[in-house]
Chains A and B, each alone.
Chain A
């Protein structure tokens, strides 16, 4: 079965960096686009970034563009999110999600359980 397991969250000071990972299994990792979505405490869902199946194309939300970098290692079936210049407003639960592809109308058919990032001095 499809599994997505995030890791790497924690408490970090403003201005510092953190790298999140998402280990995937149960599907052909190199065939699907992947996303990061975050949820601030008590708030709604915010789409963060996407990377194409081959790693060649990335898009970012305006709120993180220039600070966050999404990447993937298809040989390790792992997705990453490098977060630099972190701000208090980046505090959130970060989910990785699998894109369902064209046949799934690019909906997010599988999600990880999330990893919590807290930015605080």
Chain B
């Protein structure tokens, strides 16, 4: 099966910082990639789909880019409510594997 990797595994940042998380697929997946945010004890929340399409209601400080095997999620100005774990997920074929996650915490 294809593997999804994310880097870094964790990042410490301050409010207002620009944060970029990368996701790599072991094989090309076109633009079939989604990003989710998860806070402790809560269900994941869809942020980005189709690699770069912002889900309705998600703040515009979140953006996604990439295609093929290399993708990124950028938070342009980190807000207090953005401290969470972020997962990428492939959606081109089953299994719909998730990346291992990137935890964004307070510096």
Contact = CB atoms under 8 A, between A and B. Distances in A.
A45 B45 CA distance: 12
Interface string A81-107: 000000000000001000010001111
Interface stretch (A9-17, A67-75, A109-117): A109-117
Most chain A CB neighbours (cut-off 10 Å) among B43, B46, B91, B95 = B43
Contact of A107 (B43, B46, B100): B46
Interface stretch (B10-18, B19-27, B49-57, B72-80): B49-57
Contacts of B36: 45, 108
Contacts, number: 66
Nearest to B50: A105
Q: How large is the interface on B (under 10, 10 to 19, 20 to 34, 35 or more residues)?
A: 20 to 34
B46 A106 contact: no
Given A105-B31, A107-B89, A44 B49 contact: no
A100 B96 CA distance: 13
Nearest to B87: A45
Contact of A108 (B31, B42, B44, B99): B44
23 contacts: A37-B44, A37-B98, A44-B87, A44-B99, A44-B101, A45-B98, A46-B98, A47-B95, A47-B97, A50-B96, A61-B95, A62-B1, A62-B95, A95-B43, A105-B31, A105-B34, A106-B32, A107-B46, A107-B55, A108-B34, A108-B44, A111-B43, A112-B43
A-B residue pairs, 5 tightest by C-beta: A107-B49, A107-B34, A111-B43, A105-B50, A106-B91
